Amino acid sequence: MARRPFRRTLILASVALGTALSAAGGWRYARASAPLNGPIIIISIDTLRADHLPAYGYQKVKTPAIDLLAANGVVFERAYSHTPQTLPAHVALLSGRLPFETGVRDDVGAGVKRGERLLPQLLRERGYSTGAIVSASLLRKDTGISQGFDFFDDDMPSNPEEPLVSPDERDGGEAEEIAEHWLDSEGTSRAFLFLHLNEPHRPYTPPERFSQYTPYDGEIAYADEIVGRLIHYLKTHQLYDRSTIVLLSDHGEGLADHGEQEHGLFLYDEIIRVPLIIKQESNAGAGRRIPDLVQHVDMVPTILDLVKAPIPDNLHGRSLKPLLEGTGPLREQPVYAEALYAYYHFGWSPLTALTDGRHQYISAPRAEFYDLTRDPAQRENLAGADAVESGSRTAELTKARTALASALARLTAGSRTEPRSATSATASTTASTATTSESVASDPKDKVESLERYRGALALMAEQKWPEAMAQLQRVLRDEPGASEIWNDLAGAALLLNRYDVALDAYRHIIELEPAQPDGYLGAADVLLKERRFDEARARATEAVDVLADGDSRSRALAHELLARIALARRDTEEAREEAALAQQADPGLPMSDFVEARILYDLGRFEDALPVFQKALTAAAKPGASPIFELHFYAGETLARLDRPTDAEAEYRSALRRFPQNVRARAALATLYHSTGQPEAAETAIAEMLRAVPTAESYALAARLWTSFGNPQKAQSVRAEARRAFTDSRARATTSH
């Protein structure tokens, strides 16, 4: 992979201040701690099952780099995650506290609370420089997981084939390269590096050179190659033998072992058992294998113990240093795990579990209990009274099951789970996990088929197969009419197909399911605005305001922003100004008042007067933490185009598309600009990008109109023919799958 000198310069500059601050805050601890002589590195390989590594006995893929770490380090044979989701798993890992203790229990919604002392902060206080490079937007900076890092890189570079589409992940090879640059910039071995790789993660698309493996194993081989690059770097810089390297995963992958292809629904071993390899300085303990039960929350106390730092009293885990040094056993501690994805997203029952190494108990509407020694694949549920065993074994199992169930109840007795409908960052956390609605909720075991069909629909949406996705979602909703999230996805697919009737019906269902939440009202109002049914749109948006919770400033800002746009469409300038002021009052980072003033001037044709006001809004919107306005860059581009400033207009259109890649108006405007400035090839490319990024009936119709206006009826006819073929085929496939 090519080096990037400019990016490297930015990294050097961005870490300089953080390094200085770290040194200032940590120098006083230098004498107190006896630091390791080399860097501390955690490598988290997302969605990696332990039983798919040769270090754990798997033979269908080769992983020479991970094998080397295993040979030079200590392999923990029974390590567990606490949750099958990326963000809460990593928060537990870096905090040393369980998900119900941190409040981070889902990939969306509540982030890390301010003041949560994560491992990088604790190490920074000991004089360490701290850097993190992550490869998935689930770990982006605004989740709060960046707290305590001097340097945190969560930039997901665009795909060269789709430069205007914001990706959710990046190639782990680029993340590793940035990690090398950061280590170079530090010039010290007193550094803590957290490197997150998103391979293997669905969709599995390993490089062609790993095609001899299954796609999942191929991505494991690629992740291993990336780990090998980092090892090579450390060796060539005389750091490998001095480094403490922790290699692990956040969770595993179902691969249909219990019906689930991916992860999030269940708590079986294929999902929560993870690899854990710790290579110590000077390869101490090389080649040892530890059978003891360990867990993610053990990592913070372990690393603090290794650097002789004090361990906070509020951590749930234990230091593994005695196991690493072979000086003695640890106190036994069963592992807690929870799966709340099904509860938050579909209203099904939450799952919690406790594993003591020999047995696992899962609390569910139909409880589960497994003997992991005799039944490691967890095929025989022994929780039922009809389990056929000998008398003595039945008594033994009953005792073990009762003990784990009681221990789980004691552990979670003080925990609280926020209501299913309140998963925003401002959600309340006061609802008890023992609510009546949860007690009668569906068992996820009964819903795996629905979940897989739903995920199939999401895959179709990712492939931009909107008609098939819409039909699949409608099929799922026949079985799951109470799942508001699926209704929301259906509305999104319908909007892309200009099926406003379907979208409105979907939002009607959301309102019926969650009448005290604003989302359904706002969605319906937005559709009605698109249909130019202004009075109805205004009524629905006003209903959203009426049900808003006092602390929900984000939804309040969205509602008043929408009301301001409706007022502009109705040519009611005074109401537009009033609503813009209310939106900005709810969200001071939203430059809505300036945008509305500029729009009023623009609608009057006063482009010279509108431009500086748009520019003022753009400046405010560019500030860190500012909230985006959907049409701000588009209208700024339109204004510049009318003032005969095509280069500046192009920049604004492209900015609009970087933030909102499905804005077909901005794409059409870009094509028109290229045509009007004598750039026919660029105009053709812009139209092609529009059809590739948003392959909807609206886009094809717009492309045909553009070619007609450009004086090319042949191209227009070709686009219409392509649209007929595409949508005829899509309808046929949708009907077949339906």
114 exposure class (CB count in 10 Å sphere: 0-12, 13-18, 19+): exposed
Residue-wise pLDDT tens digits, 247-271: 999 999 999 999 999 999 999 999 9
Query: Quick one: tokens of 325?
Result: 């040094």
Give the pLDDT confidence score for residue 464 in this predicted structure. 81
Average predicted confidence (pLDDT) for the chain: 88
Pick from 99, 110, 87: nearest CA to 336: 99
Query: Quick one: tokens of 335?
Result: 């592992």
Query: Quick one: tokens of 415?
Result: 């925990």
pLDDT at 338 exceeding the cut of 80: yes
Q: What values do phi and psi take at 249, rounded to 5?
A: -135, 160
Pick from 455, 363, 484: nearest CA to 415: 363
Give the pLDDT confidence score for residue 159 in this predicted structure. 57
Rounded-to-integer distance, Cα 10 and Cα 5, Å: 9
Predicted structure pTM score: 0.84
Question: Which of 184-188, 307-311, 376-380, 503-507 shows the lowest per-residue confidence on average (mean pLDDT)?
Answer: 184-188
Give the pLDDT confidence score for residue 738 in this predicted structure. 46
What single DSSP character describes residue 498?
Answer: T
Question: Which of 7-16, 495-504, 510-519, 605-614 shows the lowest per-residue confidence on average (mean pLDDT)?
Answer: 7-16
Could you give the C-alpha distances from 323 to 78, 273, 292, 319, in angstroms and in order? 13, 19, 9, 9
Please identify, in words, the CATH class of the domain defined by 647-738: mainly alpha
Q: Is the peptide bond before 200 cis (omega within 30 degrees of 0)?
A: yes
**Residue tagged 């990706």 (tokens):** 167
Residue-wise pLDDT tens digits, 216-238: 999 999 999 999 999 999 999 99
Residue-wise pLDDT tens digits, 676-735: 999 999 999 999 999 888 888 788 999 999 999 999 999 999 988 988 876 665 555 544
- Of residues 83 and 33, more confidently modeled: 83
Listing DSSP states for 34-91 in one string gives ---SS-EEEEEETT--GGGSGGGT--SS--HHHHHHHHHSEEEEEEE-S-SSHHHHHH
Rounded-to-integer distance, Cα 319 and Cα 299, Å: 7
Rounded-to-integer distance, Cα 435 and Cα 131, Å: 42
Neighbours of 245 (CB within 10 A): 24
Give the pLDDT confidence score for residue 728 in this predicted structure. 64
pLDDT at 573 exceeding the cut of 50: yes
Residue-wise pLDDT tens digits, 609-625: 999 999 999 999 998 87
- Of residues 211 and 422, more confidently modeled: 211
Q: Which helix (H) or strand (E) holds 726?
A: helix 713-737
Band of the pLDDT at 419, cuts 50, 70, 90?
A: low
Rounded-to-integer distance, Cα 572 and Cα 600, Å: 10
pLDDT at 6 exceeding the cut of 70: no
Band of the pLDDT at 661, cuts 50, 70, 90?
A: confident
Question: Which of 326-330, 569-573, 717-721 shows the lowest per-residue confidence on average (mean pLDDT)?
Answer: 326-330
pLDDT at 138 exceeding the cut of 60: yes
DSSP-assigned beta bridge partners for residue 245: 41, 279
* Cβ-proximal residues to 260 (8 Å cutoff; 6+ apart), any chain: 254, 266, 271, 448, 451, 452
Topology match between the domains 5-328 and 647-738:
no
What's the mean pLDDT in 52-60?
A: 98
Could you give the C-alpha distances from 580 to 486, 565, 585, 587, in angstroms and in order? 31, 9, 8, 10
Rounded-to-integer distance, Cα 75 and Cα 56, Å: 9
Q: Is the distance from CB of 21 to CB of 149 less than 8 angstroms?
A: no
Rounded-to-integer distance, Cα 166 and Cα 159, Å: 8
Q: How many residues does the chain have?
A: 738
Q: What values do phi and psi take at 41, rounded to 5?
A: -130, 125
Neighbours of 634 (CB within 10 A): 22
Give the pLDDT confidence score for residue 58 in this predicted structure. 98
Q: Is the distance from CB of 197 to CB of 46 less than 8 angstroms?
A: yes
Q: Is the distance from CB of 164 to CB of 195 less than 8 angstroms?
A: no
DSSP-assigned beta bridge partners for residue 356: none
Q: What values do phi and psi take at 442, rounded to 5?
A: -70, 145
DSSP strand pairing (359-363 vs 351-355) = antiparallel
Alpha-carbon torsion angle 287, 289, 294, 300, nearest 10: -10
- DSSP, collapsed to helix, strand or coil, labels residue 247 as strand
Pick from 626, 625, 652: nearest CA to 637: 652
pLDDT at 420 exceeding the cut of 70: no
- DSSP, collapsed to helix, strand or coil, labels residue 130 as strand
Q: Is the distance from CB of 272 to CB of 81 less than 8 angstroms?
A: yes
Give the pLDDT confidence score for residue 1 in this predicted structure. 42
What's the mean pLDDT in 569-585?
A: 96
* Cβ-proximal residues to 24 (8 Å cutoff; 6+ apart), any chain: none
Give the pLDDT confidence score for residue 695 in this predicted structure. 82
Taken in order 638, 639, 644, 647, the sign of the CA dihedral is negative
- What is the fold of 5-328? Alkaline Phosphatase, subunit A (3.40.720)
Q: Domain ranges in the chain?
A: 5-328, 356-409, 647-738
Give the pLDDT confidence score for residue 483 in this predicted structure. 92
**Residue tagged 């640059």 (tokens):** 181
Pick from 227, 195, 155, 188: nearest CA to 11: 155
Residue-wise pLDDT tens digits, 445-469: 999 999 999 999 999 988 888 889 9
Ramachandran category for residue 171: left, alpha or beta (phi over 0 → left; psi -120 to 50 → alpha): beta
Neighbours of 702 (CB within 10 A): 21
Query: Quick one: tokens of 581?
Result: 């002021």
